[in-house]
Amino acid sequence: AQKVTQAQTEISVVEKEDVTLDCVYETRDTTYYLFWYKQPPSGELVFLIRRNSFDEQNEISGRYSWNFQKSTSSFNFTITASQVVDSAVYFCALSEADFGNEKLTFGTGTRLTIIP
Protein backbone atom coordinates (compact mmCIF):
# COMPACT_ATOMS: atom_id res chain seq x y z
CA ALA A 1 0.00 0.00 0.00
CA GLN A 2 1.12 3.51 -0.64
CA LYS A 3 1.88 5.89 2.18
CA VAL A 4 3.13 9.46 2.55
CA THR A 5 4.72 10.73 5.75
CA GLN A 6 5.18 14.37 6.63
CA ALA A 7 6.84 14.22 10.01
CA GLN A 8 6.83 17.97 10.60
CA THR A 9 3.41 18.90 11.90
CA GLU A 10 4.09 22.61 12.33
CA ILE A 11 6.98 24.90 11.44
CA SER A 12 7.40 28.58 12.25
CA VAL A 13 10.12 30.72 10.76
CA VAL A 14 10.82 34.42 10.61
CA GLU A 15 10.17 36.13 7.31
CA LYS A 16 13.05 35.91 4.82
CA GLU A 17 14.41 32.72 6.33
CA ASP A 18 14.66 29.58 4.22
CA VAL A 19 12.56 26.59 5.20
CA THR A 20 12.45 22.97 4.06
CA LEU A 21 9.38 20.75 4.30
CA ASP A 22 10.08 17.04 4.40
CA CYS A 23 8.16 14.30 2.62
CA VAL A 24 8.87 10.57 2.68
CA TYR A 25 6.82 8.12 0.67
CA GLU A 26 6.28 4.38 0.36
CA THR A 27 5.14 2.53 -2.73
CA ARG A 28 5.72 -0.83 -4.37
CA ASP A 29 5.17 0.54 -7.85
CA THR A 30 7.99 1.49 -10.17
CA THR A 31 5.87 4.13 -11.90
CA TYR A 32 4.42 6.78 -9.65
CA TYR A 33 3.98 10.52 -9.36
CA LEU A 34 4.65 12.89 -6.51
CA PHE A 35 2.89 16.17 -5.91
CA TRP A 36 2.94 19.13 -3.58
CA TYR A 37 -0.20 21.12 -2.84
CA LYS A 38 -0.68 24.28 -0.79
CA GLN A 39 -3.79 24.84 1.31
CA PRO A 40 -4.06 28.49 2.42
CA PRO A 41 -6.50 29.56 5.13
CA SER A 42 -9.23 29.86 2.50
CA GLY A 43 -9.13 26.06 2.27
CA GLU A 44 -8.73 25.47 -1.46
CA LEU A 45 -5.89 23.13 -2.41
CA VAL A 46 -3.52 24.72 -4.90
CA PHE A 47 -1.33 22.55 -7.12
CA LEU A 48 2.38 23.40 -6.91
CA ILE A 49 4.35 20.69 -8.67
CA ARG A 50 4.26 17.18 -10.13
CA ARG A 51 7.26 14.89 -10.50
CA ASN A 52 7.30 11.41 -12.06
CA SER A 53 9.37 8.55 -10.69
CA PHE A 54 11.72 8.52 -13.65
CA ASP A 55 12.78 12.11 -13.33
CA GLU A 56 15.07 12.80 -10.41
CA GLN A 57 16.13 16.22 -11.56
CA ASN A 58 15.63 18.89 -8.99
CA GLU A 59 13.33 21.71 -9.96
CA ILE A 60 13.33 25.38 -9.13
CA SER A 61 10.47 27.76 -9.64
CA GLY A 62 11.15 31.22 -8.30
CA ARG A 63 11.59 30.93 -4.53
CA TYR A 64 10.42 27.31 -4.55
CA SER A 65 12.61 24.29 -5.14
CA TRP A 66 12.08 20.57 -4.87
CA ASN A 67 14.58 17.79 -4.17
CA PHE A 68 13.55 14.28 -5.28
CA GLN A 69 15.73 11.39 -4.12
CA LYS A 70 14.55 7.87 -4.96
CA SER A 71 17.33 6.33 -2.87
CA THR A 72 15.76 7.74 0.29
CA SER A 73 12.15 7.88 -1.01
CA SER A 74 12.00 11.56 -0.28
CA PHE A 75 10.56 14.57 -2.08
CA ASN A 76 11.43 17.65 -0.05
CA PHE A 77 10.24 21.18 -0.69
CA THR A 78 12.28 24.31 0.08
CA ILE A 79 11.05 27.87 0.19
CA THR A 80 13.82 30.43 -0.06
CA ALA A 81 13.45 33.90 1.47
CA SER A 82 10.05 33.06 2.94
CA GLN A 83 7.22 35.58 2.87
CA VAL A 84 4.10 35.96 5.00
CA VAL A 85 1.98 34.86 2.01
CA ASP A 86 3.68 31.48 2.20
CA SER A 87 1.83 30.75 5.44
CA ALA A 88 -0.38 27.73 4.73
CA VAL A 89 -0.65 24.00 5.17
CA TYR A 90 1.44 22.12 2.63
CA PHE A 91 0.61 18.60 1.53
CA CYS A 92 2.79 16.08 -0.21
CA ALA A 93 0.89 13.44 -2.22
CA LEU A 94 1.57 10.27 -4.18
CA SER A 95 -0.25 8.76 -7.13
CA GLU A 96 0.24 5.26 -8.46
CA ALA A 97 -0.92 5.24 -12.06
CA ASP A 98 -0.51 1.60 -13.02
CA PHE A 99 -4.21 0.73 -13.03
CA GLY A 100 -5.64 3.98 -14.26
CA ASN A 101 -6.98 5.35 -11.00
CA GLU A 102 -4.79 8.31 -10.26
CA LYS A 103 -6.15 8.84 -6.78
CA LEU A 104 -3.88 10.88 -4.59
CA THR A 105 -2.61 9.60 -1.25
CA PHE A 106 -1.82 12.60 0.91
CA GLY A 107 0.39 13.06 3.92
CA THR A 108 -1.00 14.72 7.03
CA GLY A 109 0.40 18.08 6.02
CA THR A 110 2.83 20.60 7.49
CA ARG A 111 1.45 23.87 8.80
CA LEU A 112 3.92 26.61 7.93
CA THR A 113 3.72 29.95 9.70
CA ILE A 114 5.87 32.83 8.53
CA ILE A 115 6.36 35.39 11.27
CA PRO A 116 6.67 38.99 10.03
Partner 1 sequence: DTGVSQDPRHKITKRGQNVTFRCDPISEHNRLYWYRQTLGQGPEFLTYFQNEAQLEKSRLLSDRFSAERPKGSFSTLEIQRTEQGDSAMYLCASSLWASGSGNEQFFGPGTRLTVL
Q: Which residues bind partner 1 (CB under 8 A)?
A: 4, 31, 33, 35, 37, 42-47, 50, 52, 91, 93, 95, 97, 100-109
Q: How far is CA 105 from CA 51, 58, 100, in A?
A: 15, 22, 14
User: 24 or 80: whose CB is closer to partner 1?
Assistant: 24
Contact 70, 102 (CB under 8 A): no
Query: What is the C-alpha to C-alpha distance for residues 21 and 75, in angstroms, rounded to an integer?
Result: 9
CB of 73 to partner 1, least distance (A): 17
CB of 45 to partner 1, least distance (A): 4
